[in-house]
């Protein structure tokens, strides 16, 4: 008698929760008290989860969301200070950032972002790396790297122009302004916005539809579409993350972190 292969376990993840429903996997960023802001642990785990999922033969479709009120509120300010105090840590962070981006772009299985709340900074980048982005009408989207004195080098500088064109992308990336989900849908940054109480039904309805479809054709279509996006990312990502690494040790970045902690407006000096 052939023994059934046990399902792959994700219990070792500390900040990411994985739940199966048939062949659909819900992946949840699970730091709700911190609005799912990325710290060292979540960043490391985000750099590995999509590779693990890509080799999970019992998963066909992934729904990505956040626990609590937010999808992800960007970088944890204490983690940012750690990166300032020990700049060599940013070398690992840069490698992990690359792994996050390219593991999502290389993922052959469809990934649906169920944007339950704000998606900011790296949170926005991860959301935009998903194939289909369905957002609550209560969500806001933005990449305010510059407001923290950082370059938007972890993927946003490539993804935003691809989705909305250079004029819109440069405005939002250079100002750090947030936009409503409705505006994000209007300009083509995300796929669809629905009332908050309909978000789960919309996202899981689509996930089940895709999971019951011709999966090889769907996956290979995704691969074909992603070829141009991957080419753009390969052309620019390393330079962007290098600029972000340099901006990590700037005076303006430290000032932004200090101002955030002190709950005041930063006084930037361009240094």
- Of the candidates 65, 87, 84, 51, which has an alpha carbon nearest to the alpha carbon of residue 18? 65
Per-residue pLDDT, averaged over 144-156, amounts to: 95
Domain presence at residue 182: yes
Please report which residue ranges of 19-178 form alpha helices under DSSP H: 40-54, 77-85, 89-106, 122-129, 156-164, 166-175
19 SS3 class: strand
Does residue 87 have a pLDDT over 90? no
Q: How confident is the model at residue 129 (pLDDT cuts 50, 70, 90)?
A: very high
Residues 6+ apart with CB under 8 A from 157: 151, 173, 236, 240
Strands 140-142 and 119-120, bridge-based pairing:
parallel
Q: How confident is the model at residue 65 (pLDDT cuts 50, 70, 90)?
A: very high
Cα dist. 219→61, 99, 103, 105 in Å? 10, 20, 15, 12
Q: How confident is the model at residue 201 (pLDDT cuts 50, 70, 90)?
A: very high
Domain presence at residue 206: no
Domain presence at residue 7: no
Q: Are 106 and 164 in contact (CB under 8 A)?
A: no
Residues 6+ apart with CB under 8 A from 50: 100, 103, 104, 107, 111
Domain presence at residue 8: no
Q: Which residues span the domain enclosing 191?
A: 16-197+214-262
Domain presence at residue 268: no
Domain presence at residue 151: yes
Does residue 107 have a pLDDT over 90? yes
Give me the pLDDT at residue 88, please: 85
Residues 6+ apart with CB under 8 A from 224: none
Q: How far apart are CA 214 and CA 199, in angstroms?
A: 25
Give me the pLDDT at residue 7, please: 86
Domain presence at residue 207: no
CA angle 152, 158, 86 (to 5 degrees): 30
- Residue in the block written with tokens 């992990």: 96
Give me the pLDDT at residue 4, please: 67
Number of compact structural domains in the chain: 1
- Residue in the block written with tokens 């999970």: 56
Q: Find the CATH number of the domain harbouring 148.
A: 3.90.226.10
Domain presence at residue 130: yes
């Amino acid at each position: 008698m052939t023994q059934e292969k046990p399902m792959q376990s994700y219990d070792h993840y500390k900040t990411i929760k994985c739940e199966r429903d048939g062949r659909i996997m819900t992946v949840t960023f699970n730091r709700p008290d911190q609005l799912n802001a990325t710290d060292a642990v979540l960043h490391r785990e985000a750099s590995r989860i999509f590779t693990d999922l890509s080799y999970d033969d019992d998963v066909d479709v992934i729904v990505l969301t956040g626990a609590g009120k937010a999808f992800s509120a960007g970088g944890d300010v204490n983690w940012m200070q750690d990166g300032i105090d020990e700049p060599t840590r940013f070398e690992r962070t840069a490698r992990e950032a690359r792994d996050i981006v390219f593991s999502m772009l290389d993922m052959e299985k469809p990934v649906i972002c169920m944007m339950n709340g704000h998606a900011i900074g790296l949170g926005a980048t991860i959301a935009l790396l998903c194939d289909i982005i369905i957002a609550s009408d209560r969500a806001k989207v933005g990449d305010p790297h510059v407001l923290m004195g950082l370059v938007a080098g972890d993927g946003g500088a490539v993804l935003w122009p691809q989705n909305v064109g250079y004029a819109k992308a440069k405005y939002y990336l250079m100002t750090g302004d947030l936009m409503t989900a409705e505006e994000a849908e209007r300009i083509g940054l995300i796929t669809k916005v629905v009332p908050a109480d309909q978000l789960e039904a919309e996202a899981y309805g689509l996930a089940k539809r895709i999971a019951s479809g011709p999966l090889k054709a769907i996956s290979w279509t995704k691969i074909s579409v992603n070829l141009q996006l991957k080419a753009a990312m390969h052309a620019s990502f390393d330079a962007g993350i290098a600029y972000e690494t340099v901006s990590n040790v700037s005076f303006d970045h430290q000032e932004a972190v200090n101002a955030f902690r002190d709950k005041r407006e930063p006084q930037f000096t361009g240094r």
